[in-house]
A = this chain, B = another copy of it.
């Protein structure tokens, strides 16, 4: 059984994007540098997994980590050029979602 007749580069790109949270992390960083806590708050990702993902993305040259010696010290995460290059993919996903995803139920705590 050949594990892939599919283009290995394409497969690699898909592997990055289909890892849980990765696409959302990149998407959020496309709107500008972000701090750790703002990402956990906005995305609803746990600190444990966000920390893991950011390290992986840093190793892949997609994200860079910036220590800002303010007080208290801030760590800012931002995209490298490679990271920014995901923008057209995100735009297509966004376009697709506008055409094909029905209005998502808001799932409120059923107010009165």
Contacts and interface: CB of A to CB of B under 8 A. Distances in A.
Contacts of A18: 17-23
Nearest to A3: B44
Interface in A13-36: 13-14, 17-24, 27-28
A10 B82 contact: no
Contacts of A86: 96
Contact of A13 (B43, B85, B93): B93
Interface residues of A, number: 47
A42 B9 contact: no
A54 B101 CA distance: 19
A28 B11 CA distance: 11
A42 B10 CA distance: 14
Interface of A: 1-14, 17-24, 27-28, 40-44, 82, 85-86, 88-89, 91-101, 103-104
Given A2-B41, A2-B44, A4-B44, 14 more contacts: A1-B40, A1-B44, A3-B44, A10-B27, A12-B101, A13-B94, A13-B96, A14-B27, A17-B93, A18-B18, A85-B96, A88-B92, A88-B96, A89-B93
